[in-house]
């Protein structure tokens, strides 16, 4: 396991001094720089750390409080995700203000111990969907949009391709998914959507890491013959799926990927097989956003930062910046709520997350208009209601294929509350009164 402690803008001697240490906000960075999912993990870990470093260089941290971080290699393995959490949870003067597991399986493994430790778990675009009900899961935040919400936007997008939601009736959709907790997470909402709109779907699980898919795609193309394929892959599974689809002559423009199947690392290795392929996203692509230009000016142009500059503007790196903004803005709000510019604790950040709002004014201040959609979390709603946008891979780049599409909470929220209530009953939890 790899541990790297990085202090930014302070000397090693200052780090050891009690007065200086008291002005530092520690943030854990657990990700995977090795293994079949390293393309995503390396961007998440390095990109988030670079955003923290950017804030230190440009602003002196957050309200004068320097940010420090520690990187911990998880290799996308659940036991290591838990190990990294335990290793870093008490670091810094106030311990971890939050923790990103970067794995749905890891989220399930760590969230209960984190709640006992009063450390928020932030799972932007992944994790346990029913944790959107903050009354039952006070320390778990599947922020912006959860898996089930994404699925409703995805079916709306397919409906738009067909010319209307009524055209979904009678369609056949193949759900090619990673055979893991992450891959299976959307099956319940697909079942509900199939009932509502009258389409049929069949699951095609792909074993880790997803390099052997020949038999699956032969079955899809020659036996099932779907109208669309939903690709719910991760890492090397994604380009392999696109190549196998092309090999059996299933058109790429009939495949709609989830946001963990929609990066340059998924399409470039597939070459021509990816041309016309669609994928979901909860943030923008490219570098044409003020915040990324500021990072280039203050950080990358000076030879600082860990992300390879060739990766700037790519999906995974932009996602890392977006994730870092959510956490650091929660820290900023927590300082405001306690009335002091000092390192904040997990419970203080938890309270801040439950009122965190990314409206137009905040996005403009962050230089992130268009990079992120507006959203707002509450005690009851740990998701925030962000919409979803779809991209299409054309001529070696992602291009916009839709406006922001609102998710269908008439389907999602009742499912979230039912599942959360079942968890509460199983664990003997009395849901909090959020006053809503």
- Where are the chain's structural domains? 25-145+285-381, 148-281+390-412
Q: How far apart are CA 397 and CA 258, in angstroms?
A: 17
Residue 1 has pLDDT above 60, yes or no: no
The Cα 201–Cα 171 span in angstroms is: 8
Q: Is the pLDDT of residue 16 over 60?
A: no
Contact 183, 177 (CB under 8 A): yes
Q: What sign does the dihedral 142-148-150-152 (CA atoms) show?
A: negative
Q: What is the pLDDT of residues 279-288, one digit of tens each?
A: 999 999 999 9
How deeply is 431 buried, as exposed, middle or buried, from its count of CB atoms within 10 A (0-12, 13-18, 19+)?
Answer: middle
Q: What is the pLDDT of residues 232-271, one digit of tens each?
A: 999 999 999 999 999 999 999 999 999 999 999 999 999 9
Can you tell me the mean pLDDT for 362-376?
A: 97
Rounded CA gap, 173 and 254, in Å? 10
- Percent residues over pLDDT 90 in the chain: 93
Superfamily name with CATH number, domain 148-281+390-412: Response regulator (3.40.50.2300)
> How confident is the model over 299-314, as a mean pLDDT?
96
Task: Write out the CATH class of domain 25-145+285-381.
Answer: alpha beta
Q: Are 224 and 172 in contact (CB under 8 A)?
A: yes
pTM of the predicted structure, to 2 decimals: 0.91
Q: Give me the count of residues in the chain.
A: 436
* CA distances, 164 to each of 155, 278, 341 (Å): 11, 18, 52
> What does the pLDDT read at residue 14?
36
Amino acid 332: pLDDT? 98
Cis peptide before 99 (omega within 30 of 0): no
Residues sharing a CB contact under 8 Å with residue 191, sequence separation 6 or more, in sequence order? none
| Confidence at 22, pLDDT banded by 50, 70, 90 | low
What confidence tens digit (pLDDT) does each residue in 144-166 have? 999 999 999 999 999 999 999 99
pLDDT at 10: 34
The model's confidence at residue 383, banded by pLDDT at 50, 70 and 90, is very high
Residue 54 to residue 73: CA distance in whole angstroms: 22
The predicted pLDDT at position 36 comes to 85
φ, ψ (nearest 5 deg) of residue 288: -85, 55
Q: Are 197 and 174 in contact (CB under 8 A)?
A: no
**Residue 436: pLDDT band with limits 50, 70, 90:** low
pLDDT grade for 23, boundaries at 50, 70 and 90:
confident
Which residue is associated with the tokens 């038999």? 215
- What pLDDT sits at residue 400? 93
Residue-averaged pLDDT of the chain: 94
Q: Are 343 and 65 in contact (CB under 8 A)?
A: yes
Domains 25-145+285-381 and 148-281+390-412 equal at CATH topology level: yes
User: Helix, strand or coil for residue 394?
Assistant: strand
Q: Give the rounded percent of residues in the chain with a pLDDT score beyond 70.
A: 95
Geometric angle at alpha carbon 225, from 220 and 230, rounded to 5°: 65
What per-residue confidence (pLDDT) applies to 211? Answer: 93
pLDDT of residue 3: 38
Q: Is the pLDDT of residue 405 over 60?
A: yes
Whether 388 contacts 154, CB under 8 Å: yes
Residues 273, 238: Cα–Cα separation, whole Å: 11
């Amino acid at each position: 396991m790899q541990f790297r402690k990085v202090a930014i803008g302070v000397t090693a001697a200052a780090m050891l001094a009690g007065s200086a240490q008291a002005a530092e906000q520690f943030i854990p960075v657990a990700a995977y720089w090795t293994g079949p999912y390293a393309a995503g993990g390396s961007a998440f870990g390095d990109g988030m750390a670079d955003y923290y470093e950017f804030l230190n260089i440009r602003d002196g941290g957050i309200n004068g409080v320097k940010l420090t971080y520690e990187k911990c290699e998880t290799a996308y393995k659940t036991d290591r995700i838990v190990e990294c959490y335990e290793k870093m949870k008490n670091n810094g003067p106030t311990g971890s203000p939050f923790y990103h597991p970067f794995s749905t399986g890891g989220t399930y493994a760590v969230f209960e111990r984190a709640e006992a430790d009063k450390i928020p778990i932030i799972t932007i675009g992944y994790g346990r969907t029913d944790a959107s009900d903050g009354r039952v899961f006070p320390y778990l935040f599947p922020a912006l949009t959860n898996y089930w919400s994404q699925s409703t936007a995805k079916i709306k997008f397919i409906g738009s391709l067909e010319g209307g939601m009524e055209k979904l009736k009678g369609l056949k959709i193949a759900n090619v998914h990673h055979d893991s907790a992450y891959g299976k997470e959307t099956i319940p909402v697909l079942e509900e959507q199939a009932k509502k709109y009258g389409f049929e779907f069949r699951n095609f699980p792909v074993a880790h890491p997803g390099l052997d898919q020949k038999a699956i795609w032969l079955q899809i193309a020659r036996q099932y013959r779907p109208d669309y394929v939903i690709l719910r892959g991760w890492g090397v599974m994604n380009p392999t799926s696109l190549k196998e689809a092309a090999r059996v002559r299933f058109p790429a423009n009939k495949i709609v990927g989830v946001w963990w199947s929609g990066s340059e690392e998924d399409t470039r290795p597939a070459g021509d097989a990816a041309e016309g392929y669609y994928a979901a996203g909860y943030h923008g692509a490219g570098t044409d956003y003020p915040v990324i230009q500021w990072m280039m000016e203050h950080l990358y142009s000076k030879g600082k930062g860990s992300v390879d500059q060739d990766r700037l503007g790519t999906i995974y790196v932009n996602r890392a910046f977006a994730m870092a903004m959510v956490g650091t803005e929660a820290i900023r709000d927590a300082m405001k709520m306690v009335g002091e510019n000092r390192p904040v604790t997990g419970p203080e950040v938890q309270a801040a997350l439950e009122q965190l709002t990314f409206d137009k004014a905040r996005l403009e201040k962050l230089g992130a208009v268009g990079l992120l959609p507006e959203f707002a979390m509450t005690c009851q709603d740990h998701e925030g209601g962000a919409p979803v946008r779809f991209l299409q891979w054309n001529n070696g780049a992602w291009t916009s294929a839709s406006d922001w599409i609102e998710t269908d909470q008439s389907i999602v929220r009742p499912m979230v509350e039912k599942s959360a209530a079942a968890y509460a009953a199983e664990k003997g939890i009395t849901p909090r009164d959020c006053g809503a």
